[in-house]
Amino acid sequence: MQEIRFEKATSFKQKPQDESKLGFGKLFTDYMFEMDYEAGKGWHDPRVVPYHNFSLDPATSVFHYGQEIFEGLKCYRRKDGGLQLFRAKDNFARMNRSAERMAIPQFDEELALQGLIKLLEVEKDWVPHTAGTSLYIRPTIIATDPMLGVHAAKRYKFFIILSPSGAYYAGGLAPVEIYVEDKYVRAVRGGIGFAKTGGNYAASIRAGEIAEEKGYTQVLWLDGVEQKYVEEVGAMNMMFVLDGKIVTPMLNGSILPGITRDSILKLAKHMGYETEERRIAIQEIFDAAHSGKLDEAFGTGTAAVVSPVGALCWKDEKLVINRGEIGPIAQKLYDTLTGIQFGEAEDPFGWVLKID
C-alpha cells in the first residue's frame, strides 16, 4: 500500500463551544485527506493535509457535466471517549460501484480506509461528545480535466472532509412530514439512481423547494415510469410497518442501496421482526392506512439515522401516521442501531471498527 504523507497545519479553527447548535454539515475541521489520479499514473500521493480551497480552471469538467461521486458515513464517540466507525468498508465499496457507473477509475478501498483513519487520528478532538452528535465524513471524487468535451476525464481528485454534526432534521427524532412527488421524477432504471452522485441530488432540489413551501420536510419519490411505486426520500430509504411486518422497496437500480437500510433489515430480522423487500404501490400504503393496517412509516439513512414519518401528503390527501408520533418499532430500531454505532450495545454483525 502507498504511504500516506502528512503535512502539518499552521493555524487551527476554534472548535464549537455549544454542541447543541451544530446542525448538519456546516462546519469543517482543520485537515482533509486528498489523493489524485492521472491516466497512466493511477491514484497517487495520498496525504493528510491542512483543509484548503481548490484552485480549478473554469473549464474543469466536474463544473459542467457533474462527473463526481460522494459518500456519507460517521465517526462516533463512545462513552469511554474512544472513537469508532460504522460499516466504513461498505461505504468505500459502494463508492467504487458509483465510480464504475460514472466512468471514474476504481480506487484502492483499503488505502481510502487507511487515509480516513489517519485523518481521524489527527482530528480526533473534533468528534463531538454530546448524545446524538457525531463527526460526519464526506469522501468525494471529482473529475478535474479542464476540457469541455463530454468524455470521461483523465484526471480526478479524491478527498475526504469532516464535519461535526447533530441531527439532520432540525426537529431531531420528531416525525417529519413528507410530500409524495407526483410531477417530477428523480431516477429511472438504467440511469444513475443507485449511484451516489451529485446529479441525483441536483434533479431533486426543485421538488424539495416546492415541498418545503407547502410545509413538508422532504419529497418521497415515486418510480420514474408509472409514478405508482414508492422509491425513496431525498436523503433516506423508506420503510413501512404494514400489519406488523416491516416492508421496504426492493433495490431496483433506481434507488440508493442504503447502508442503514441494509443494517435495519438485518437488525429487524435478528430481533424477530418479519421483513419484506418488494415493489410497493403508493396506493397500497394509503389503502392500508384507510383500513387501519399502516402501523408506522420511517426513513433510514446515515444522516437521518431512523427518522419517523408522521404524515404523507399524496395528491390532495394528507395521511397522518401513528397520530404523528414515533412508533414503537421505529423507536426500538433507532435505539438498537444507535446503541451499536455509539458502542453501547452488542455488535452482532461485526459492523464497528474501533479506531481509538
- Tell me how far, at minimum, the Cβ of 261 lies from ligand PLP, in Å: 6
Residue 68 binds to ligand PLP (criterion: CB under 6 A): no
Given a contact cutoff of 8 angstroms between Cβ atoms, the answer to whether 120 and 83 are in contact is: yes
**Alpha helix (H) residue ranges in 123-216:** 198-213
Q: Rank residues 153 and 304 by Cβ distance to ligand PLP and give the closer one.
A: 304
C-alpha angle 171-176-182 in degrees, rounded to nearest 5 = 145
Residue 67 binds to ligand COI (criterion: CB under 6 A): no
Given a contact cutoff of 8 angstroms between Cβ atoms, the answer to whether 140 and 69 are in contact is: yes
C-alpha 93/C-alpha 111 separation (Å) is: 12
Q: Rank residues 135 and 256 by Cβ distance to ligand PLP and give the closer one.
A: 256
C-alpha angle 14-20-23 in degrees, rounded to nearest 5 = 80
- Tell me how far, at minimum, the Cβ of 69 lies from ligand PLP, in Å: 12
Stretch binding ligand COI (CB under 6 A), from 56-64, 142-150, 187-195, 295-303: 295-303
- Tell me how far, at minimum, the Cβ of 301 lies from ligand COI, in Å: 4
Element (H, E) at 100: helix 88-101
Of residues 62, 135, 192, 235, which one binds ligand PLP by CB under 6 A?
A: 235
Given a contact cutoff of 8 angstroms between Cβ atoms, the answer to whether 220 and 179 are in contact is: yes
Residue 241 binds to ligand COI (criterion: CB under 6 A): no
- Tell me how far, at minimum, the Cβ of 71 lies from ligand COI, in Å: 7
Beta strands in the chain (DSSP E): 5-6, 31-38, 42-50, 68-70, 73-77, 83-86, 134-143, 155-165, 176-180, 218-222, 230-233, 236-242, 245-249, 275-278, 294-301, 305-314, 317-320, 352-354
All cell numbers assigned to 225: 415510469
C-alpha 183/C-alpha 212 separation (Å) is: 15
Q: Rank residues 256 and 312 by Cβ distance to ligand PLP and give the closer one.
A: 256
Q: Is 150 helix (H, G, I), strand (E, B) or coil?
A: coil
Residue 302 binds to ligand PLP (criterion: CB under 6 A): yes
Q: Rank residues 133 and 302 by Cβ distance to ligand PLP and give the closer one.
A: 302
Q: Which of residues 205-234 bind ligand PLP (CB under 6 A)?
A: 232
Show the site string, 68-107: x = touches ligand COI by CB under 6 A, - = not: ----x-----------------------------------
Q: Which of residues 236-295 bind ligand PLP (CB under 6 A)?
A: 236-237, 256, 258-261
Of residues 219, 265, 303, 333, which one binds ligand COI by CB under 6 A?
A: 303
Compute the half-sphere exposure of residue 12: CA atoms within 13 Å on the CB side of its CA.
8
Residue 299 binds to ligand COI (criterion: CB under 6 A): no
Q: Which residues bind ligand COI (CB under 6 A)?
A: 72, 235, 301-303
